[in-house]
Amino acid sequence: MNIKKLVGGFAAVVLASTLASVSVSATAGKPYIEERTPGKDYFLTVNSADANIPAWCKDSGIDVTEVYGVRWYIQVNDESQGFGGGVGINATANNWESHDWGNADAAKEITSDGKTVEIIKDEPVFKADDAYANFFLQNWWGDWSVVDVEVLGKDGVLLSDAVGAVAEAPAAEEEVAEPEAEAAEEEVAEPESDDEPIAVEEAPAVEAAPAAVPATENTNTGNASAVAIVSVMALAAAAMVTSRRK
């Protein structure tokens, strides 16, 4: 079996399963969003005095007094029967403030376009000393469900954009880029320092090669003349030695 195909197939299976798990629900991994009555009552815990209760403010680091509203994202499976319910606030200082909402023809206080349900105020929704601070969305009729939720600040600004984590990204890129540039310069400089020693060491080997090659080897190398001259000189030297002995 081809090991590359086996590894590639395994990687594809892992990627597919990962994408599937991500697309199951946009609220997955957000413990402060819960369905207290599945499909009927959705709650977002914005803040809580109880350290054991997950809350959006604890997760985001944003103070509860900066919260002015909420935007629920919904998915309507069948618009023919309409959709709607209740939306509101549940906090220590503002106990169970509820408003009716529904589709365009439902004539409710808050109208939904079938994609979002939003409630926004002109002042902070919660107080700093609220023991609990929640938003809720209720399903009174229709076939729909919540897929995500966003907390809003003054004038409807998305508070998650105000965290400021993105501002540090350019500095991180510069720190990474500088070592890469230095490494590139070193890679270019190293071959230049090695060129001259290599040329000096290899030169004698090229000159000595013809003397070691027999006259019967391939003559296409261009060294045939040199070999012939060496052979003639050797024969002449032998003849001189012989004549002297005689």
- 246 residues of the chain, pLDDT tens digit each: 544 443 344 344 333 332 222 222 445 578 899 999 999 999 999 999 999 999 999 999 999 999 999 999 999 999 999 999 999 999 999 889 999 999 999 999 999 999 999 999 999 999 999 999 999 999 999 999 999 999 999 999 999 655 433 223 334 444 444 555 444 444 544 445 454 444 444 444 444 444 443 333 333 333 444 444 444 444 444 444 444 444
- Neighbouring CB atoms inside 10 A of 53's CB total 13
With tokens 């012939």, the residue in question is: 228
Q: What is the pLDDT of residue 179?
A: 52
Q: Are the C-beta atoms of 73 and 116 separated by less than 8 Å?
A: yes
Q: What is the pLDDT of residue 199?
A: 44
Q: What is the pLDDT of residue 53?
A: 95
Q: At a CB cut-off of 8 Å and minimum separation 6, what does 58 contact?
A: 47
Pairing type for strands 33-37 and 41-48 reads antiparallel
Helical packing angle, 224-245 and 169-212, nearest 10°: 40
29: left (phi over 0), alpha (psi -120 to 50) or beta: left
Q: What is the pLDDT of residue 178?
A: 52
Of the options 2.40.50, 2.60.120, 2.60.40, 1.10.10, the CATH number for the domain spanning 22-163: 2.60.120
Q: Are the C-beta atoms of 117 and 148 separated by less than 8 Å?
A: no
pTM above 0.75, yes or no: no
